[in-house]
Amino acid sequence: MTLPLVLVPGLMCDAAVWEPLLPALRDSGCVGRIDGVDHGLCDSLVEMARQVLVQAPPRFALAGHSMGGRVALEVCRLAPDRVSHLALLDTGYAPLARGVPGQQEKDKRQALVQTAREQGVRAMATLWVQGMVHPDRLGDMQLIEQILSMFERKSADVFERQVRALLNRPDAEPVLRALAVPTLVLTGRQDSWANVEQHRALHALIGPRAAPVLEVIEDSGHMVPMERPAQLAAAMMRWLAR
């Protein structure tokens, strides 16, 4: 039996983030229809999740990368019976931290918004990407150009709206504890934004009914779908076969 699969991209990403995976997924025999998602002008994770549910089949496997993982958790909060499998990739679950750490995150994100407004999205993305791929891939001009071009397809206004959504993110711990479908938690070993320890903590919150599996992709930063598509596709095929 093949499963419909919905792929939810992260901050400023689009279908290009998933393209390297698609041939392997389509050839796997596990996947039928594959739908991508565009967040449009949404400025809240809940609004993004509602948009996913409007577009998705009645029941589907769901994978979210980075901010898309948080959107996927909101989908599960809103309509748990519609999700057959869940994959959370290079993502998080906690709300904005209180006090100094939260203010530091706000300041960092708002500085990028200001750069996007004043210098353009490409200039912002050039700064952003420095910490988002494995250090050894910073010299891979083909990969870096794919990421920069993907960001450049969206406007500074879209970026500001998505940053607002992330800064106002809900606490997803209750969703994790309630999960009851096969769940994959995965990150890159060198993901400096959503690190391995964060994913271990996330994995530990998921109840046994979901039989959660934690996988770490070696030699990859935050952009696992583009950095290590073969390894991610293999992990997703194991997840979908469960």
> What are 63's strand-pairing partners?
7, 87
Q: What is the pLDDT averaged over residues 177-204? A: 97
Residue 3 has pLDDT above 90, yes or no: no
pLDDT confidence of 32, banded at 50, 70, 90?
A: confident
Q: What is the CATH number of domain 3-96+170-240?
A: 3.40.50.1820
pLDDT confidence of 215, banded at 50, 70, 90?
A: very high
Residue 100 has pLDDT above 70, yes or no: yes
Q: What is the pLDDT averaged over residues 90-99? A: 97
- Average per-residue pLDDT in the chain? 96
Q: At what angle do helices 99-119 and 156-167 cross, to 10 degrees?
A: 170
Here the tokens at position 116 are 């996007």
Residue 19 has pLDDT above 90, yes or no: yes
Residue 1 has pLDDT above 80, yes or no: no
pLDDT confidence of 16, banded at 50, 70, 90?
A: very high
Residue 37 C-alpha from the chain's centroid? 11
Residue 2 is predicted with a pLDDT of 81
Q: Quick: pLDDT tens for 137-180.
A: 999 999 999 999 999 999 999 999 999 999 999 999 999 999 99
Q: How many CA atoms lie less than 13 Å away from 200 in the CB half-sphere?
A: 4
Tell me the domain boundaries of the chain: 3-96+170-240, 99-164
Q: What is the pLDDT averaged over residues 56-72? A: 97
Distance CA 163, CA 158 (A): 9
Q: What is the pLDDT averaged over residues 75-101? A: 97
